[in-house]
Amino acid sequence: MGRRKRSLPVQQEKNEDLEAKHARIEESDGWTGVNEHSFIAVKPDGVHRRLVGEIIQRFEKKGFRLVGMKLVQASEDLLREHYRDLRDKPFFNGLVRNMSSGPIVAMVWQGLDVVKMSRKMLGETNPADSLPGTIRGDYCLEVGRNVIHGSDSVESAQREISLWFRQNELQCWEDSSGHWIYE
């Protein structure tokens, strides 16, 4: 019993340290460096094909840190806002319809150059142009069923993350393998 009482303040202190670190990062005008964040979503076709675990594993093996994840059925309003830059494209309504057709696994990944590196890991939007070894190169055949979305810039990532996640849904945690990944 006494042991628990002593460990509670230590854990509380660690939580307060993480909260303070999280607040400092937020105040630094966005997430940069090893604190950069990207929004990644496994689309309904990827969820139905049971590719979620494989995709998560690729990001983890790369060394990125998962700081937010949820399974959601996105509303058309959310998707129209998410893809607002494509609203004038002829495929826009079909994209929104497809994305609202089933569950989506929405994730936030953190790490150095995570936006740029994630885009390389995903491959080209058109799977026919994607190299083997990329997610789309390995698992996709058609543009309309390319299993995954990834932010294309740090600014897009910040906007997309704020659409899909509340601030309290993102976790700030210490990764003990960080010194094996970063110099």
Structural domains of the chain ordered from first start: 31-166 (3.30.70.141)
Question: Which residues line the annotated binding site?
Answer: 43, 91, 119, 125, 136, 146
Residue 149 designated active-site: yes
Q: What percent of the chain has pLDDT over 70?
A: 83
* Residue 8 pLDDT greater than 60, yes or no: no
pLDDT in tens, 12-38: 554 455 455 444 444 444 566 889 999
* Residue 124 pLDDT greater than 50, yes or no: yes
Residue 75: exposed, middle, or buried by beta-carbon count in 10 A (0-12, 13-18, 19+)? exposed
Query: Of 22, 37, 82, 149, which is the active-site residue?
Result: 149
CB 74 within 8 A of CB 100: yes
Question: Which residues line the annotated binding site for ATP?
Answer: 43, 91, 119, 125, 136, 146
